[in-house]
């Protein structure tokens, strides 16, 4: 644990896509190619088996295999966050045990989902996870998927758990997020933006880092944005945020099919194939053409 | 399959709670007691491992054990619906294979969840499930949990799949549900109400049956309501609907904690214990007292 | 007031469209034609200056003129409901005073709108209106427009005001509406369905009447549905509800442009022109063609 | 018009509360006191008869009287925005004519409300207003009240109207708002934040100004925040945003009763009375005590 204590979650962390072949199986060769691209651009670590990584649709064995491959590919240099998207407290704790030998730097847990639950259940969920976990825990707020938002007061309460080390907020609710800069969080607690549109403003306000799914396509403006924010150069932060906003168009042009769009774009750049775990969730040729146009406009193709 | 073809989904089907002990393990003795209560009141079958049954939080082994016990307890007399609450198409099909030897009368599948998906993905999800399944499939529309509603047009399209035999609609959206009485469904297709407040109106309009979670507490008014609806006696349907509405108060008085409230009520009646799989999701003493008051008002205690 | 006391709100009440010419002015000749059509089909009264009547966009003078014309055209035979769509309590009371000499049978008031308000404000709003009004008051629940829903408990509380004589519920929330058949309302209180999809089920459950905007196009199935519901003939109620559901398609085919669709349809039948008060809110030629197809399928054209 | 052309909407603009006495009438003496407080703190202008000003519940005459008093009190030094909260295009244009002689620097119009309308109707609404108006028009996006959001693409389209000079965005949707820094707006177009939680981030990203209702209580941190943002001092911007966030607590502690809370607070500071136009919308003594606590914590009392 000594090692983990020194690492803190910050900087630019891509939410790695899970590369699949036509039969829906993981393509580890492509996975390495994608890791290589992101690492050489200067990312600080990887967020594995998350929402972008189709984690909820992967088996536990698959999640462990992906994790091991990424660790092998990155060595000990980079920070690895093992996301656990499981609907109940028990299932999450079971997965913690399954990852025990792998010693991820951070174990990232969503709220319960399927059932709508009150905040006290969310709070107890994280307390039980925290006390069961030998790893540092990151809370993952993504109410558009779990439909259980972690309220600001719940976050505050949970900072008292010593091994809850931060929150990744993908809610897109900047009002709640921005309350984090009120110096209310303890020093060991990281405050991570997970909605790409909000990266610039968040880092300027003092957020510790960003996790990005879109960055699988083009990670450079995220790395640049992070650096400029740390220098306090708002104008250059804006320039990079503009690039990210333009990249976001690949999701708008497909009416919100986020994962298929990201995979289509990375495919066009030669580092993925288009297949997703939800087999019928594909882009039409027309939609793929629109994604291509966005990449061309950005001179990525 | 011959046998199944003759059965159609109709009548009163309780969504069986999964009886747990303090350690969260299934209590099969209580399970039998509950089945005995419901069977002797005249229900037509059982809906197993559904939302009320905490299906999303049970392991596959647990779901199979519960199913086997219910089959054993009921013999071949009653219709068994095996609910499968799994987030992806593949996981659902995997569970169909796991249930293959058990030959449930109906296999009930929700839409994909966690991710928001367009209707075409929902349609393909059910088509792939239907073609993989040796059993009759029932669609389960519960957007308050899956956040992916099955639209009316999608239901209509899917009636062309011969072994999709009906829909259980727990959405509470009576406008969409009521469009089902337009004689648009084929004869082999059952149209089942899953929202207790809407049972009376639905059966009068011609719905084939109802699935109820609340009925675990007190099944008699549901059985009575069904019979009176089939006789066209609207006034007696209303009387029974009123009793159901009054029973529904146990959920209102706890601000919507449905499963803990149902379990608390069945416990007060001596056929359950209060424990749920989501361990921190309990009623306070005050809330339990309110549940008790509702039961007393109904002279169930 | 003696006269009013004997009238109760029930039966079929069309929510009259406000007939406009190309310059946006009221066309009283067409208004009479439309009243004539509806009256001869056997409606019980008229709902004037409501949501379908574009009430919120009419001036007070216009509302009074429309009211006077309808009264003149119908004599004293029919029940007239003067809808008042005004955002505040004071403005509503002011309008009551403006209508004083006209003695409408019922004065229909929405909740406050623009601001979101708690239920206690809604309750006080109606209490103040009730005590200021010489007429019987009907509450108008239309949260899709006012964004302030009248909760069931608030309705119950307000039944203690002797001159609040009913509620018109256009919310489409059948669960709340259906709680009204629990014999909880006093005898002088009318319970009126305002969502056409729900008419059949509501009347079978014991609702007193229906208000319909779509009925401007084709009122016969509503009148028939009402009669069959009173006879307890569920099958014929369903037949008429099916016709209404098919008529509803004119709104679906235009993606929810309700008023332009209704006006287009009545125009095609020769009793209106297409103009609305919100001048840029028109159907395209393509949309008008779709409306025409729906009418043709129903053999109205 | 020459004069207006040179003014651009920017800086700190309080959305003036409308001071009322117990009988609901405007108290001009208090109004002047409040203007004096805000002016001497260095605001750039006033936003009059807006949502905070209870504009939708004021008569046209009242709105004109308030406007005239503010103009008189401020002379020609300050920029005046006349808000017009009216539900239809015609009513808005009528109000423009009523304000014609008063020559406000900006006339601020909301979208149509009560009815839900598509974006094309919103676009035509503003085009018709723009061509009817001798003043510069500001669009006012407040979907929590109008329930018709102005989409980003609609804003972009409307920048082609030369006398539409900006947008005040009170939606709280920072994702859409932040797209404004993409250099897509013409130079004469102002981009104003109306949600206090988002002021700091918005101004750092390049927004032109802020309109604040909460600032009626304590305007100093807003003025300071604006200055520091223009200097690019993110840390001092954060300090002031923190003060604003703490001030925001007065609304949280009353469960969102924004106007009553603001008026209660300004009353405690001796520049208002507690009365609102929606008479039953008051704070309880308990709630007022909580508001007082927030002010005490901020050392304003």
| pLDDT tens digits along D104-155 | 999 999 999 999 999 999 999 999 999 999 999 999 999 999 999 999 999 9
- pLDDT band at residue A4, thresholds of 50, 70 and 90? very low
> From the CB coordinates, do chains B and D have 3 or more pairs under 8 Å?
no
| pLDDT for the residue numbered A6 | 53
Mode of pairing for the β-strands spanning D106-110 and D79-84: parallel
Q: Which one of C95, C278, C284 would you mutate to disrupt binding with D, by most D Cβ within 10 Å of its Cβ?
A: C278
What is the arithmetic mean of pLDDT over D255-267? 96
d(CA C105, CA C165): 11
Residue A1 has pLDDT above 80, yes or no: no
- pLDDT band at residue B2, thresholds of 50, 70 and 90? very low
| pLDDT for the residue numbered C182 | 66
D204 and A175 within 8 Å at the Cβ level: the answer is no
| pLDDT for the residue numbered A185 | 87
Structure tokens at B127: 């088509």
| pLDDT for the residue numbered B185 | 87
What is the arithmetic mean of pLDDT over C78-97? 96
- pLDDT band at residue D234, thresholds of 50, 70 and 90? confident
| pLDDT for the residue numbered A301 | 93
**Residues in CB range of D198: below 8 A, 6 or more apart:** A174, A175, A178, D172, D174, D177
Q: DSSP letter string over C181-234?
A: GGS-S-TT-EEEE--GGGHHHHHHHT--EEEESGGGT--HHHHHHHHHHHTT-H
pTM of the model: 0.93
| pLDDT tens digits along A44-71 | 999 999 999 999 999 999 999 999 999 9
**Residues in CB range of C134: below 8 A, 6 or more apart:** C1, C96, C100
Mean pLDDT (chain D, rounded): 93
**Residues in CB range of D129: below 8 A, 6 or more apart:** D89, D92, D93, D96, D109, D137
- pLDDT band at residue B280, thresholds of 50, 70 and 90? confident
Distance of CA D8 to the CA centre of its chain: 15
d(CA B66, CA B50): 11
Q: Which of B115-119, B122-126, D117-121, D278-282 has the lowest mean pLDDT?
A: D278-282
| pLDDT tens digits along B222-244 | 999 999 999 888 889 989 999 99
| pLDDT for the residue numbered A77 | 84
Which of D216, D201, D225, D203 minimizes the C-alpha distance to D250?
Answer: D216
**pLDDT cut 90: percent of chain B above it:** 85
Residue C124 has pLDDT above 70, yes or no: yes
| pLDDT tens digits along D193-231 | 999 999 999 998 889 999 999 999 999 999 999 999 998
Shortest distance between the Cα of B21 and any Cα of chain C, in A, equals 34
Strand locations in C40-183 (E):
45-48, 79-84, 106-110, 136-141, 164-169
Residue of C nearest to D55 (CA): C114
What is the arithmetic mean of pLDDT over B251-265? 95
| pLDDT for the residue numbered B179 | 81
Residues 71-110 of D with CB under 8 A from C: 85, 87-91
Task: Please report which helix (H) or strand (E) contains residue A81, including its range.
Answer: strand A79-84
A277: nearest CB among B88, B256, B278: B88
Structure tokens at C22: 């190309």
What is the arithmetic mean of pLDDT over A10-30? 94
| pLDDT for the residue numbered A2 | 37
What is the arithmetic mean of pLDDT over D234-254? 93
Residue with tokens 């600001």: A152
d(CA D281, CA B59): 51
Cβ atoms of residues A219 and A16 within 8 Å: no
- Provide the Cα torsion A35, A36, A40, A45; round to 10°: 20
- pLDDT band at residue D165, thresholds of 50, 70 and 90? very high
- pLDDT band at residue A182, thresholds of 50, 70 and 90? low
Strand partners, C65: none
Residues of B in contact with A277 (CB under 8 A): 88, 90
d(CA A261, CA B118): 14
Mean pLDDT (chain C, rounded): 93
Classify residue C274 by burial, with Cβ atoms within 10 Å: 0-12, 13-18, 19+.
middle
What is the arithmetic mean of pLDDT over C51-65? 97
d(CA A36, CA C182): 67
- pLDDT band at residue B38, thresholds of 50, 70 and 90? very high
Which of A70, A65, A107 minimizes the C-alpha distance to A85?
Answer: A107
Structure tokens at D14: 């309080």
Backbone angles phi, psi at C181, to 5 degrees: -85, 10
> From the CB coordinates, do chains C and A have 3 or more pairs under 8 Å?
no
C281: nearest CB among D114, D121, D279: D121
Alpha-carbon separation of residue B115 from A57, A88, A245, A278, B222 (angstroms): 10, 17, 22, 10, 35
* Residues found in chain C: 301
Residue B183 has pLDDT above 80, yes or no: no
Alpha-carbon separation of residue C71 from A272, C66, C223 (angstroms): 72, 9, 21
| pLDDT tens digits along A201-232 | 999 888 999 999 999 999 999 999 999 999 88
**pLDDT cut 90: percent of chain C above it:** 85
Strand partners, B139: B109, B167
Q: DSSP letter string over D24-70?
A: S-B-HHHHHHHHHHHHHTT--EEEESSTTTTGGGS-HHHHHHHHHHH
Which of D146, D143, D128 minimizes the C-alpha distance to D87?
Answer: D146
Classify residue D4 by burial, with Cβ atoms within 10 Å: 0-12, 13-18, 19+.
middle
- pLDDT band at residue B182, thresholds of 50, 70 and 90? low
d(CA C134, CA C129): 10
Cβ atoms of residues D44 and D25 within 8 Å: no
* Binding partners of A (≥3 Cβ pairs within 8 A): B, D
d(CA B142, CA A175): 31
d(CA D198, CA D222): 12
Residues 224-253 of C with CB under 8 A from B: 232, 234, 238, 241-242, 245-246
| pLDDT for the residue numbered B5 | 43
Residues 157-186 of D with CB under 8 A from A: 172, 174-175, 178-179, 181-183
Residue B80 has pLDDT above 50, yes or no: yes
A178 and D198 within 8 Å at the Cβ level: the answer is yes
**pLDDT cut 70: percent of chain B above it:** 97
Shortest distance between the Cα of C44 and any Cα of chain D, in A, equals 27
Residues of B in contact with A144 (CB under 8 A): 116
| pLDDT for the residue numbered D182 | 65
Residue A234 has pLDDT above 90, yes or no: no
| Alpha helical stretches, state H, chain A | 2-6, 28-40, 60-74, 89-98, 119-132, 143-146, 152-158, 174-178, 199-205, 220-230, 234-252, 258-268, 285-297
End-to-end CA distance of chain A: 44
Strand partners, D144: none
Cβ neighbours of C197 (radius 10 Å):
21
Q: DSSP letter string over B179-205?
A: GGGGS-S-TT-EEEE--GGGHHHHHHH
d(CA D56, CA B34): 58
Residue with tokens 């005040």: D168
Residue C180 has pLDDT above 90, yes or no: no
Integer-rounded Cα radius of gyration of chain B: 18
* Binding partners of B (≥3 Cβ pairs within 8 A): A, C
| D230-234 contacts at long range (C-beta below 8 A, 24 or more positions apart) | D230/D203, D232/A232, D232/A234, D232/D204, D234/A204, D234/A205, D234/A232, D234/A234, D234/D204
**Residues in CB range of B288: below 8 A, 6 or more apart:** B264, B268, B274
Cβ atoms of residues B133 and B126 within 8 Å: no
Residue C1 has pLDDT above 60, yes or no: no
User: What interface predicted TM-score (ipTM) does this complex get?
Assistant: 0.95
Mode of pairing for the β-strands spanning D45-48 and D79-84: parallel
Q: Touching check for A132 and chain B: CB below 8 Å?
A: no
Residue B161 has pLDDT above 60, yes or no: yes
Count the alpha carbons within 13 Å of B150 in the hemisphere toward its beta carbon. Answer: 27
d(CA C161, CA B220): 37
| pLDDT tens digits along A129-178 | 999 999 999 999 999 999 999 999 999 999 999 999 999 999 999 988 88
The alpha carbon dihedral of D123, D128, D129, D133 has a sign of: positive
d(CA C61, CA D11): 42
D238 and A174 within 8 Å at the Cβ level: the answer is no
| pLDDT for the residue numbered D5 | 43
Which of B143, B78, B140 minimizes the C-alpha distance to B104?
Answer: B78
| pLDDT for the residue numbered D8 | 76
Q: Would you put residue C172 in left (φ > 0), alpha (ψ -120 to 50) or beta?
A: left
SS3 helix, strand, coil % of chain C, rounded to 5? Answer: 50, 15, 35
Strand partners, A210: A12, A193
d(CA C211, CA B5): 44
**Residues in CB range of A157: below 8 A, 6 or more apart:** A123
Q: Touching check for D131 and chain C: CB below 8 Å?
A: no
Backbone angles phi, psi at D166, to 5 degrees: 165, 180
């Amino acid at each position: 644990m000594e090692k983990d204590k020194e690492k803190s979650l910050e900087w630019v962390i891509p939410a790695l896509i899970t590369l699949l072949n036509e039969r829906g199986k993981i393509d580890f060769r492509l996975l390495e190619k994608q890791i290589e691209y992101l690492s050489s651009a200067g990312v600080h670590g990887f967020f594995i088996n998350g929402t972008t990584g189709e984690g909820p649709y992967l088996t536990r064995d698959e999640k462990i295999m992906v994790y091991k491959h990424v660790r092998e590919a990155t060595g000990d240099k980079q920070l690895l966050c093992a996301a656990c998207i499981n609907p109940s407290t028990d299932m999450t704790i079971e997965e913690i045990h399954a990852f025990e030998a792998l010693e991820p730097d951070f174990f990232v847990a969503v709220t319960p989902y399927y059932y709508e639950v009150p905040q006290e259940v969310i709070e107890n969920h994280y307390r039980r996870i925290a006390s069961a976990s030998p790893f540092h825990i990151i809370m993952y707020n993504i109410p558009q998927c779990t439909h259980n938002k972690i309220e600001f007061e719940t976050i505050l309460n949970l900072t008292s758990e010593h091994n809850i080390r931060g929150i990744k907020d993908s809610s897109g609710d900047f009002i709640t997020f921005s309350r984090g800069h009120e110096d209310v969080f303890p020093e060991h607690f990281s405050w991570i933006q997970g909605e790409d549109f909000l990266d610039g403003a968040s880092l300027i306000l003092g957020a510790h880092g960003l996790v990005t799914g879109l960055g699988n396509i083009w990670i450079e403006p995220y790395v640049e944005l992070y650096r400029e924010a740390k220098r306090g150069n708002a104008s250059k932060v804006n320039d990079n945020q503009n690039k990210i906003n333009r990249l976001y168009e690949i999701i708008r042009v497909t009416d919100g099919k986020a994962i298929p769009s990201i995979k289509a774009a990375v495919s066009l750049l030669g580092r993925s194939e288009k297949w997703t775990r939800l087999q019928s969730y594909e882009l039409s040729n027309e939609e793929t053409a629109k994604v291509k146009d966005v990449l061309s406009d950005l001179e990525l193709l």
